[in-house]
Amino acid sequence: MHPAFSVIFFTTCSGAGYGLLALMGIFGAAGLLPSERWMGLVGLVFALGLVSVGLISSMMHLGRPERAWRAMTQWKSSWLAREGVMAVLTYVPAGLFGIGWVIFEDTSGPWAVAGVVSAVLAWLTVLCTAKIYHTLRPIHQWHNDWTVPSYILLSVMSGAVLTSALIHMFNVVNPYIQGFTVVTLALSWGLKTLYWNFNERTRGLPTVNSAIGIDAGDVSVLELPHTSDNFLMKEMGFKVARKHAEKLRMFSHMAGFALPLLFSLFAMFVDGWVALGCAILAWGLCSLGILTERWLFFAEAKHTVNLYYGAQTV
């Protein structure tokens, strides 16, 4: 699939934003984060800012962005519409939680309920985003059991790395949150590795034979349907060289998981500016790695329509 930058930017920013918002809601309600006004303001502004920028970026991918609101009316049958509905609904409890934290410096009682509800809605939004791709049966690299859990866990991981940077920014020592960050980085790395291994060793069920309805014999395409590139070939037939994909995957392994994990571990045993520097480096590297991972997520996806243009399997 052609990797559109607007969608890559949207999924990366919104995933991190929803992850941070959800963890602030859970940790704040549990009393693991201090109900200090400026911490709440900085964290929630950053989380909702990432979410909002990501959503605006996603609308730029539409042919008619001004009609984006109409997609939400199809929530009964469309995961894209459900994603839009959940995204809008999340702002309500998140706003209430922000009022309690920033204005009243209180994250208990009804404000804690608002924080938990915003966390649930945030993760439901990420789930809807993942289901958009998971339900596309013509794309084997997306329609599998690894897509949804890796999407959700990557969001949690991105949010955890941001939460780690937030607590060190305000000189809050919390080994539970820092340990949670390390664990989510390790789990996400393992899950993403399994996802990539699955795509390496498996192929989609459709073949050239099944595409044209011939059960037996070796079938090859003699004449392509078009003599020049068309929309399908540009959007659905995007190809990335294997050697480039391997290099980008290695970069994602290092920048997205290995180095952030290392710096997050360092942050557990140091304090002050050193810990803050480690947490910020972990966040910056993680963001670059996830952008690369998300580009590969689209670039390596092969649509079944490629069988009509010479591909033997997808």
pLDDT tens-digit readout, 158-205: 999 999 999 999 999 899 999 999 999 999 999 999 999 998 888 777
- Per-residue confidence (pLDDT) for residue 75, from 0 to 100: 84
- Separation between Cα atoms, residue 210 and residue 233, nearest integer Å: 20
Chain-centroid distance of CA 157 in Å reads 10
- Per-residue confidence (pLDDT) for residue 301, from 0 to 100: 87
> φ, ψ for residue 313 (rounded to 5)?
-140, 165
Tokens representing 268 are 């557990």
Tokens representing 233 are 């070939």
- Per-residue confidence (pLDDT) for residue 138, from 0 to 100: 87
Q: Which residues have C-beta within 8 Å of that of residue 114, sequence separation ≥ 6?
A: 25, 93, 94, 96, 97, 100
End-to-end, the C-alpha distance of the chain in Å comes to 12
Fold of 5-309: Formate dehydrogenase/DMSO reductase fold (1.20.1630)
Q: Which residue positions in the chain have pLDDT lower than 50?
A: none
- Per-residue confidence (pLDDT) for residue 217, from 0 to 100: 67
- Per-residue confidence (pLDDT) for residue 312, from 0 to 100: 63
> φ, ψ for residue 207 (rounded to 5)?
-130, 175
